[in-house]
Structure formats: structure tokens, C-alpha cells
Amino acid sequence: MATIYDVSQLAGVSLATVSRVMNKNTNVSEKTKQKVLAAMAELGYRPNTFAQSLASNCSNSVGVLVSQLDGPYYGPMMAEIEAALRADNRHVIIAVGHSDAAQEIDSVEFLLSKGCDALILDVEAISDEYLIKLSKSSTPIVLINRYIAEISDCCIYLNNELGGYMATRHLLDLGHREIAYISGPSKKHDAIERLEGHKRALAEVGISYDPALCFEGDYKEDSGVDGMNYLFSQNKTFTAVVCANDQMVSGAISVCLERGMKIPQELSFVGYDNIPFARYVSPKLTTVNNPIHEMGKMAALWLLKNLYKKDVEVANVFEPELVVRNSAIRI
Amino acid sequence: MATIYDVSQLAGVSLATVSRVMNKNTNVSEKTKQKVLAAMAELGYRPNTFAQSLASNCSNSVGVLVSQLDGPYYGPMMAEIEAALRADNRHVIIAVGHSDAAQEIDSVEFLLSKGCDALILDVEAISDEYLIKLSKSSTPIVLINRYIAEISDCCIYLNNELGGYMATRHLLDLGHREIAYISGPSKKHDAIERLEGHKRALAEVGISYDPALCFEGDYKEDSGVDGMNYLFSQNKTFTAVVCANDQMVSGAISVCLERGMKIPQELSFVGYDNIPFARYVSPKLTTVNNPIHEMGKMAALWLLKNLYKKDVEVANVFEPELVVRNSAIRI
DNA sequence: TATTTATGGCGACTATTTACGACGTTTCTC
DNA sequence: GAGAAACGTCGTAAATAGTCGCCATAAATA
């Protein structure tokens, strides 16, 4: 493999000049530049990334830590992050935290040890303190789906409370008054916030929140199944169910269909996230849009702006939007 | 940050000895080893990845190129690759090819320029010739979902023809004789092979393949919708539809349900891939299992064995399996 | 002539790997 | 029992391929 030395020899210039051409920062005459470029082309020269990183202490890589890679949720986010960073010739290194504090910390250390310039984190179990401390170290971090007041500048998040409110409000507007809720895990921030929104909507019309009509799931399809079975076992009446994500709706609806119920005629459902499949299941899901791909893109842009000094606009907080389809009807 | 030099000073040994302790390959006396380890701990020493890569010409990184990151298909694969490589302290760099030859080649070059030790490729548009040439270069590659005879050793693939055969055979066994087919794009290898299997199954029972009952989709939900509308417009009778993947089944079924049809009573469906959602849509899909996560894992193990010299077992070819659920019934 | 611009040259620097060789101890052979 | 070979252990120094900054110098411009 040709080195920068070979290029300088062939072009008849010094090492410094070759470096100047590559990093296009200082003045080089057009003629010299062309000579160097020609030499590079002739030799098929590629700068050695390892040496560049060593000398500049910059790897042009960003570590992305997510809870999981399978499932419908993180793919779109990763896609946007990859695209935005790739367009600026940076690469992304992935790691998985499995929503477990020890594994998440381990993953952060792993990414750091690999020399990432920055980290994009979608973590659930790591404590605020750890993240605050981490953000003060030399490696910048961006948090997706999480708000920590002390480091709010590097947080990209959705107004989950509002989303939870919108879901329930929609059902109330359709005349529903007995509304069950299948929640996400109570240790996850977004699950708590969505439930808060649900409660606020109920309170707004003077309905008191009934814990017996609430089941705590884990965001997976199976817990939608469990939740539905639990709700039916309560011997309480309800005309609608809000689920804290679309996957649990899908599990919940499958239980109803197996019992021969007609959806949405006998029971209305509202989901959350608007995952791609929400449009193709039957009935098509009424759900709250979670602009996860936009947040991924924004996290990448944040780094481009703050770390790599590109001139781009960034936003921190995103608003949910209700997507009305066919799974919830007027009572 | 402490360097290897600091460690050697504190431990009172040479640089080489510290390096030997880290790489535990050559003989170091237990006493010396302990001294070095103690010095490392005291200094909180972390080897500099960039310098390691420069000196050893090995980055411990593997580039993974897939067609897309969103969608239900690649997540499980990436998850397995990440887990297997991570367990051996290697990291994965991702890139997206968008099923386009120019972009795929660009992505390969990109990953190569980033100093990957090896590449895992799930590419559709790149030519066999390019891949054969690439495999002869110094960077090893592994191909997922593709078979090229000349470099069969580094191909990890599914017997797609057999899967296509199984899908149609299942319907034939249930008594169906008029079977429509919604295919994947005719330029994709797996789509062609699956269709071949379909034809073989038909031929086996003496049914001639009718092109009018076949629609070419693009593997996305919407083309399942288009395919179904096309089939209904043909004024031909059919009692079952095979789709070349589950996403198209989902689109196709949604058309039928909107027309008020009962599925599977009026029309049977068989899909392909067994994506997670296949279990939760209604009716639950009868489909052909595509062990994509196992293939991902195998690709990683292949590298562990052939590149990083770990002692593991690898398999190249995977067999599909029919998963019988509720979307296809006896006629 | 003074000032700016372009370029060369040199060396410091980055943190590690690795080939080679040195040194001392053990073991084997005659 | 002595000399030689083998071996384990460890250090030295070269190599890795760039970046970066300083200074000197030459050419172009004002």
C-alpha cells in the first residue's frame, strides 16, 4: 500500500505539502495541488486511517448504543444516524445494552475503549448520575429518548406525556369513558410519562384513574396478550384500551380476535409509536406517531454541529402526533 | 492518559514485556506479569486503540453491509452478529447499500477505507465478478444470503428454492390446485430461487405454471397490496396465494379484509421469512422460516474461525422450515 | 523594496508491535 | 564433569503512517 511518502516522492513535493492538500486548510497553489492529486490517483493512494487516528486523536467514528437491534423500533433510528454520519464520511459502531444497567455501562466502556469520538445513547437503565458524569468527560454524548435537566442540551427527546394524553384524549372525544391501559415497564421513563399523560386526560374530564384497569407490560407483544387476559379477568367493563406501544396492541388485539370479538366494534384500541406494521395489521391501528427516525437524524446532526463543527440546525424536543386509523371508533 | 511507557517505568520492565503481558502470547514469568498488572491497575491504564491498530495493522473491527436497516429483516441478523463479535471484543461498523449496485460498491469502499479487518455483506446488486475479485483481496469477506460457486466457502445461505417448494407444496397438500404467486423483484437471487421452488412443486403434481397468476412485487407491504389488486383484476379463480415474503402477505391480506373477505376461509395464504410479526397478525401467518439470525451468527463465527483463529464450528448452508399457523387451510 | 503567499525541510509526536538478539539457566551428551 | 545446545525470559530498536508546527526560503505581488 502506498504511503504519503510515496506520494510526495512521485509528485516531487514534501510530505507537508501532501498533508496540506489532503486537509485543504492552508494555502497550496492550484498547480501543486493538481500534481499531488495526480500522484495520489496514480498510486491509488489511500490515507492510512490508523495513522490518521493516532496522530490526530480522532477516529471519525461514533458509537451508537441501543437497547436492542431486533424489533421494529431501532432500525429506522439507526438508518437515519448512519445516513447522516456517512454523508460526512464518519462511521458508526454499534453496541447493544439490553435495557440492563450493567450491560449498558459495559457497552459504554466498550465503545469508549474502541476510540469513538462521541456516543449516541438510547439507554434506559443507566442512572442519571452516571450519564451526567459521562457527559463531563472528554467524549461528547447525545441522549435519545431521555431528558436530564442538568444536561438538557445534549438530550433529544419526545414529549411522551403529551403523547399519552393525546391517545386517551382521542378516545374520550369519541365518547369512551371506561378506558383500560396497558403500560410499559414502570422503570422506564417513557412508560411512566405516557401513563402520566393518560391520567391527565382522564382527570381533565373528571374520571378517576382506576389501577385495576391498568396492566404493566414490558413493551413486547406477549405482554399485550397477558395484559388483555388480565383485563378480562377483572370483571370490569371497559370500551377501549390504550396500549403504551403498538407491539402490545398487536398482542392484545390477537387475544380479542381469538375470542371471536369484533375489533373495533366491540372494543377500541389506541397504540403508540406508529411502527411500520401499524398500517398493515387489521384493523389498521390508530396510534401516536413517535418520530424516532427524526430523532436519530437529529442526534447525528447534533454531533455534526457540536463535535465536527458543521453548520446545521438542531432541535432537541419533538412533539407526538395522533395518527387516526381504524382501531378506535365512536361509541 | 497513561501510556504503555508509564506502565513499563512503574513496573521496572521494558515496553516489550508490557506488550507481552497484554497479548499473553509469549512467555513471561508469573512474577513479572504480576508487577506489570499491578502497575496497569495503579495507573488505570487503557491501551490506545489507534496505536494498536497502527502497529498491528488490525483494527478488530468488522464492517457489516446490509440493504436496509429499517424493516423487520435485518435487525435480528445484526443483533446476532454484534453479540458474537462483541463477545470476542471486536466491534461492528455498519453501512447501508439500499439494494443499489453503485451504493453497494461505494459502501464496500467506505468500509475498506475505515480499516475493517473483514466484511460481512448482504448485497443484492453487486455482480458476482466484483465479489469474486473482492474476495481475493487481502480483506476477507463473508456473503450472507448469496451463493457464488467460485467462492462457496465464504457464502452463508439459505436453500431458497426448497423454501419456495415447501410453501407451495403445503398448499397442494391441503388440496389447493389454483395457486397464485406474488414474487419478489426478478433481479434478486432469492426471489428467483423461491419462484423456482414454487414451479417445481406445481410441476410435481402436473400443474402447469400460469404467468397470469404471478405478480412481481418488491418485497414491501405496498406491493402485496398491488399484487392482490392485480390478481383480482385477472378474472381467474384461485384458492390460495403464496407470497415471497411476509410483508407482502400482510399487504395482500389487508386488501382482502377491506373487501370483506374471510381469511383463510375464502383464501389461503402462505408467506416466507417468519418475521416476528407473523405470529401477531390476524390470522397468524403460515410461513417458511428463514433463520436469518442464525445466518448472521454463523457469519460472525466464520470470521472468528477463519480470521481471528478461534476454534469454532461453522456451517454454510441453512435449510428452511415450514411454520404452520392459521392463514392457510384445507380446501 | 516591502509584504504576502507558497513550499520545503526537519523533527517531534502518537503508542504500540515485533524481529532480533542477549543473557542466564537447565539439560543433554560424551 | 565439562562443553554445547536448548530454552525461557527480557530488552533494544526499528517500524508503523500519518499530523503538526516551526522556521527558512523562494517567488509573486503591491
Residue of B nearest to A222 (CA): B280
Percentage of chain B beyond pLDDT 90 is: 77
Are B134 and B196 in a shared domain?
A: no
* Contact status of A61 with chain B (Cβ, < 8 Å): yes
**Residue A17: pLDDT band by 50, 70, 90 thresholds?**
confident
Q: Is residue B106 a part of any domain in this protein?
A: yes
Q: How far apart are CA A189 and CA A323, in angstroms?
A: 23
DSSP sequence for A26-55 = S---HHHHHHHHHHHHHHT----HHHHHHH
Q: Is residue A329 a part of any domain in this protein?
A: no
Are B151 and B101 in a shared domain?
A: yes
**Residue A63: pLDDT band by 50, 70, 90 thresholds?**
very high
**Residue A25: pLDDT band by 50, 70, 90 thresholds?**
low
Residues A106-136: tens digit of each pLDDT: 999 999 999 999 999 999 999 999 999 999 9
Is a pLDDT exceeding 80 seen at residue A27? Answer: no
Q: How far apart are CA A231 and CA A69, in angstroms?
A: 31
Q: How many residues does chain B have?
A: 331
All residues of chain B having their beta carbon less than 8 Å from the beta carbon of residue A273 are none
Separation between the CA of B29 and the C1’ of D3 (whole angstroms) = 28
Q: Is residue A52 a part of any domain in this protein?
A: no
How many structural domains is chain B composed of? 3
Are B139 and B234 in a shared domain?
A: no
Are the Cβ atoms of A92 and B96 closer than 8 angstroms? no
Contact assessment for residue A170 and residue A324, using Cβ atoms and an 8 Å cutoff:
yes
Q: How far apart are CA A240 and CA A266, in angstroms?
A: 9
Q: Is residue B327 a part of any domain in this protein?
A: no
Residues B202-261: tens digit of each pLDDT: 999 999 999 999 999 999 999 999 999 999 999 999 999 999 999 999 999 999 998 999
Are A152 and A298 in a shared domain?
A: yes
Strand C bases, protein C-beta under 7 A: 5-11, 13-19
Q: Is residue A328 a part of any domain in this protein?
A: no
Kindly report which listed range (A78-82, B44-48, B283-287) carries the lowest average pLDDT score.
Answer: B44-48
Are B165 and B282 in a shared domain?
A: yes
Q: How far apart are CA B236 and CA B238, in angstroms?
A: 7
Are A137 and A63 in a shared domain?
A: yes
Q: What's the mean pLDDT when you consider all of chain B?
A: 94
**Residue A23: pLDDT band by 50, 70, 90 thresholds?**
confident
* Contact status of A265 with chain B (Cβ, < 8 Å): no
Are B195 and B131 in a shared domain?
A: no
Kindly report which listed range (A239-253, B162-176, B271-285) carries the lowest average pLDDT score.
Answer: B271-285
Which pLDDT score is estimated for A142? Answer: 97
Are B254 and B300 in a shared domain?
A: no
Supply A237's cell numbers: 367493563
Residues B52-97: tens digit of each pLDDT: 999 889 999 999 999 999 888 899 999 999 999 999 999 999 999 9
Range of the domain at A298: 59-159+292-320
**Which residues sit close to strand D, CB under 7 Å?**
A 1, 3-5, 15-16, 18-19, 22-23, 45-48, 50-52, 54-56; B 12-17, 20, 26-29, 31-32, 51, 54-55, 57
Q: How far apart are CA A119 and CA A170, in angstroms?
A: 37
Q: Is residue B88 a part of any domain in this protein?
A: yes
- For residue A265, what is the domain's CATH number? 3.40.50.2300
Lay out the sheet containing A141-144: strands in order across: A317-318, A155-158, A141-144, A118-121, A61-66, A91-96, B91-96, B61-66, B118-121, B141-144, B155-158, B317-318
**Residue B132: pLDDT band by 50, 70, 90 thresholds?**
very high
Q: Is residue A200 a part of any domain in this protein?
A: yes
The alpha carbon of residue B283 is apart from the nearest alpha carbon of chain A, in Å, by 9
Which pLDDT score is estimated for A11? Answer: 87
Are B267 and B176 in a shared domain?
A: yes
Q: Is residue A112 a part of any domain in this protein?
A: yes
Are B43 and B68 in a shared domain?
A: no
Which pLDDT score is estimated for A9? Answer: 87
Percentage of chain B beyond pLDDT 70 is: 99
Are B22 and B170 in a shared domain?
A: no
Give the helix/strand (H/E) hosting A256.
helix A246-258
Are A110 and A70 in a shared domain?
A: yes
Number of H helices, E strands in chain A: 12, 12
